[in-house]
Amino acid sequence: MKTCRFILAIITTILVFASCTTTQLVPIEVLKPGKVTLSANTRNLAFIARNFKYSVDTLGDYYSANYKLRKAPEKQNEGIDSLALQSALSSLQKKLLATGRYDTIVTYPYNTIRPHHAKHILPLSPDFVTKICQESHVEGLVALEMLSYFYSKVAPGIKDDSGESSVKINALWALYLPGKEKPVDHFRYTDELVWDRYDQNGNLDLTKVNPDRKAAIEMAAQIAGEQYARHMGPLWATVNRTLVTPSGDEWKKATQMAQKNQWEEAAAIWNRLASMPDGKEQGVAELDLAVAAEMMDQIDLAVSWASKAVKLLDGKRYGPVAGQYLAVLMVRQQQINGLNQQIK
């Protein structure tokens, strides 16, 4: 009798696990709008460095070594400002062109505006902005208004066995349009970037080398450019979508195909499952079909499938998942419509 009960318990457990529904996350690259809204006709930009520093910024030629302030040799300081400015502008240009939002970007030489210091920074004059835009045949001007940095290093054995390099960086960007009295956008990026020789698990990796002053400043300037590109937008971002997989060979096969990026084949299976006579998992199939449609850049169809799934899954386990996904799709649908007006 005890043996029979034991066997029955095992069979029950197997049946429970066999009927389990699982979820899987699949990544998708989406284009998100930035915080700068420009007309669809603004497809060409000019970049210029203001070569400005605040009067209190007097440490450009200095760095910190083992917590002591030192002046860098003159040879090390030669060209480091131009390297930083060009790195920031080049990084911004690369990121913006990759979005497809802009056709041409004209970058003016580093010394177009001579280096200067002042207590306050004044905006570029409307006449200057118009002149630059006309001669370079662009519709807008991006100015790197100010870029400052300070490098520090700590040798191994002073703080810990790793040693450390860091850069404090401060960048101010502005976007000018012809005919406007003031910039239409301002963006400030301030950060401290730190490099050490620990791996992601916190273990000391003696094969790693912390960057020297020149390399660290160049990398920090590149990140300053990338950050303004993210602000301007649009930008590509990786997000996850949820697939729901009930038990059954067909469901498993469809999910496996989706994970291999075979979305048309997966959608064909989910379509069959959605039209089964019993309709037991129809809502789940329609939810997965919505994900497949989005993956194939059919956002309107994705919204349609998700709307159907929300109705069928109302009050059921995956109802909240369907509702949240529909809300995400509707926001993305509006964003895509807006981006399509800009990227033509």
**Which distant-in-sequence residues (6+ apart) come within 8 Å of 11 by Cβ?**
none
Q: What's the pLDDT at 19?
A: 52
The token pair that represents 250 in the structure block? 């067909």
Looking at residue 342, its pLDDT comes to 60
- Helix axes of 282-295 and 263-274: crossing angle, nearest 10 degrees: 160
Measured CA to CA, the distance from residue 252 to residue 258 in angstroms comes to 10
- Element holding 89 (H helix, E strand): helix 80-98
DSSP, collapsed to helix, strand or coil, labels residue 244 as strand
d(CA 294, CA 291): 5
Q: Give yes or no for a contact between 312 and 282, defined as CB atoms under 8 angstroms apart.
A: yes
Tell me the residue ranges of DSSP E strands in 88-212.
104-107, 116-118, 140-154, 164-176, 185-195
| Residues 6+ away with beta carbon under 8 Å from 120 | none
Per-residue confidence (pLDDT) for residue 233, from 0 to 100: 82
Report pLDDT for 344: 56
Instruction: Name residues whose C-beta falls within 8 Å of residue 237's C-beta, 6 or more positions apart in sequence.
Output: 29, 30, 31, 32
What pLDDT was estimated at residue 143?
98
Q: Rounded to an integer, what distance in angstroms lies between the CA atom of residue 304 and that of residue 299? A: 9
pLDDT beneath 70, residues of the chain: 1-19, 278-279, 341-344
**Confidence (pLDDT) at 18:** 41
Give dist(CA 282, CA 312) in Å, integer. Answer: 7
Q: What is each CA distance from 98 to 6, 94, 110, 233, 318, in whole angstroms?
A: 63, 6, 23, 11, 37
Q: How, if at all, do strands 185-195 and 235-245 pair?
A: unpaired
